[in-house]
């Protein structure tokens, strides 16, 4: 099939994404109805992946696999988040946005950019005519995706079960994966999309390597913009007076599920290996609060 707007369908997917998100933004703004926000984001990924694969029409094995992975991730997340918000009634992330059209618009703009940018690896693979043999990077990427999806799905179910228990009303979730990291679901999402990038690597050539901006953008977005910061701010307002909660924050990593504590910085490892006399990582329950002088991973 001939090209649609451009050889990699980048302009087309941008237009589709903007149009799709604009429809849901209008619904949200006019009706003050934010229950479809996450549904709109997750399903947009599926639309882009399937659209580009169908328009290109080559259906190489790698294209099929990556498209299926996006469909599985997107539909699972869309259904889960939609059912959850219908059950909970409201999304606390939007407490300060419902009456502020400007803030709401900025959020939806970020969501559109998020969808289009993070989809780049799959978009380029599905738009490509190159079909190198399946190699180690494909397998590694698929395994990373599977691990990330499992972590995200398990974390989602653990938190949902915790929140649904009457005995946990007014408490923050610190069970299961949530005892190792304050946001295991976000770790899973970042890890699986880095896996998608790794699996796309055998096809990439020249400027196409810029699709690495997809997982980089996702990581920065979740860590510093609309993911963890919004949830942390909300949790701090609700539980900030609790000494137990403050201890949990000090001794539990924000994103990746490794026991909190002081770690050796990558720079020092590169320069001279593990520092002499450095202590091994301590489990979360026995870890003291990190100090800047300890070169701790305070945020991640």
Summarised one tens digit per residue, pLDDT across range 46-103 is: 999 999 999 999 999 999 999 999 999 999 999 999 998 888 776 666 666 666 788 8
3-state secondary structure 183-231: CHHHHHHHHHHHHHHHHHHHHCCHHHHHHHHHHHHHHHHHHHCCCHHHH
Q: Round to whole Å and give the CA distance between 134 and 256.
A: 29
Query: What are the φ/ψ torsions at residue 90 (nearest 5 degrees)?
Result: -155, 160
Chain centroid to CA 152: how far?
Answer: 9
| pLDDT score of 7 more than 50 | yes
| pLDDT score of 184 more than 50 | yes
One domain for residues 125 and 139: no
Within a domain: 273: no
| pLDDT score of 293 more than 50 | no
Q: Round to whole Å and give the CA distance between 299 and 219.
A: 13
Q: Round to whole Å and give the CA distance between 205 and 211.
A: 10
Q: How far apart are the first and last CA of the chain?
A: 45
Residues 152, 154, 159, 182: what is their CA dihedral angle, to the nearest 10 degrees?
-50
One domain for residues 74 and 159: no
- Residue 292 confidence (pLDDT): 33
Within a domain: 24: yes
- Residue 170 confidence (pLDDT): 79
Task: Check: CB of residue 255 under 8 Å from CB of residue 148.
Answer: no
Stretch 276-284: mean pLDDT, rounded?
A: 41
- Residue 229 confidence (pLDDT): 86
One domain for residues 234 and 156: yes
Q: Round to whole Å and give the CA distance between 202 and 44.
A: 25
| pLDDT score of 288 more than 80 | no
Closest CA to 84 of 26, 153, 140: 153
One domain for residues 90 and 209: no
Given the structure tokens 């190489």, which residue do they identify? Answer: 60
| pLDDT score of 158 more than 90 | yes
One domain for residues 76 and 94: yes
| pLDDT score of 279 more than 70 | no
Given the structure tokens 């790794």, which residue do they identify? Answer: 198
Q: Tens of pLDDT along 8-26? A: 999 999 999 999 999 999 9
- Residue 272 confidence (pLDDT): 35
Query: Domain end: 131, 164, 182, which one?
Result: 131
| pLDDT score of 31 more than 60 | yes
- Residue 96 confidence (pLDDT): 65
Stretch 282-290: mean pLDDT, rounded?
A: 42
Q: Round to whole Å and give the CA distance between 183 and 257.
A: 9
Task: Check: CB of residue 224 under 8 Å from CB of residue 128.
Answer: no
| Domains identified in the chain, total number | 2
* More confident call, 297 vs 203: 203
One domain for residues 123 and 139: no
| pLDDT score of 33 more than 90 | no
% of the chain with per-residue pLDDT over 90: 55
Query: Domain end: 102, 131, 160, which one?
Result: 131
Consecutive H or E run containing 120:
helix 120-127
Task: Check: CB of residue 148 under 8 Å from CB of residue 191.
Answer: yes
- Residue 286 confidence (pLDDT): 44
In this structure, of 71-80, 87-96, 136-145, 202-211, the range with the lowest mean pLDDT score is 87-96
Closest CA to 115 of 236, 17, 195, 7: 17
State the DSSP string of 242-282: -HHHHHHHHHSBSSS-S--S----HHHHHHHSSPTTPPPPP
Mean pLDDT of the chain: 83
How wide is the angle at C-alpha 139 spanned by C-alphas 134 and 145, nearest 5°?
130
Within a domain: 240: yes
Residue 2: domain span: 1-131
Consecutive H or E run containing 99:
none
User: Looking at 29-104, which runs of residues are DSSP E strands?
Assistant: none
DSSP, collapsed to helix, strand or coil, labels residue 181 as strand
Task: Check: CB of residue 108 under 8 Å from CB of residue 17.
Answer: no
């Amino acid at each position: 099939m001939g090209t649609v707007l451009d050889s990699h369908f980048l302009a087309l997917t941008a237009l589709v994404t903007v149009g799709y998100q604009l429809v849901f933004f209008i619904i949200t703004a006019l009706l003050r109805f934010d229950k479809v926000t996450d549904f709109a984001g997750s399903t947009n990924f599926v639309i882009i992946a399937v659209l580009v694969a169908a328009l290109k029409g080559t259906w190489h094995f790698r294209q099929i696999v990556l498209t299926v992975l996006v469909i599985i991730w997107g539909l699972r997340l869309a259904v889960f988040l939609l059912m959850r918000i219908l059950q909970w009634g409201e999304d606390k992330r939007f407490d300060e946005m419902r009456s502020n059209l400007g803030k709401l618009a900025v959020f939806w703009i970020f969501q559109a950019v998020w969808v289009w940018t993070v989809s780049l690896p799959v978009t380029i693979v599905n738009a490509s005519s190159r079909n190198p043999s399946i190699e180690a990077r494909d397998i590694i990427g698929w395994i990373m995706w599977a691990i990330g999806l499992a972590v995200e799905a398990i974390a989602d179910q653990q938190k949902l079960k915790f929140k649904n228990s009457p005995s946990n009303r007014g408490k923050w979730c610190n069970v299961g994966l949530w005892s190792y990291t304050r946001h295991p679901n976000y770790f899973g999402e970042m890890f699986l999309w880095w896996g998608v990038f790794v699996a796309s690597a055998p096809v990439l050539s020249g400027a196409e390597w810029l699709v690495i901006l997809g997982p980089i953008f996702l990581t920065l977005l979740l860590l510093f913009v609309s993911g963890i910061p919004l949830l942390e701010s909300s949790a701090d307002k609700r539980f900030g007076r609790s000494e137990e909660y403050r201890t949990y924050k000090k001794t539990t990593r924000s994103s990746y599920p490794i026991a909190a504590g002081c770690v050796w910085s990558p720079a020092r490892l590169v320069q001279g290996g593990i520092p002499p006399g450095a202590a091994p990582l301590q489990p979360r329950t026995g870890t003291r609060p990190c100090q800047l002088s300890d070169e701790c991973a305070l945020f991640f």
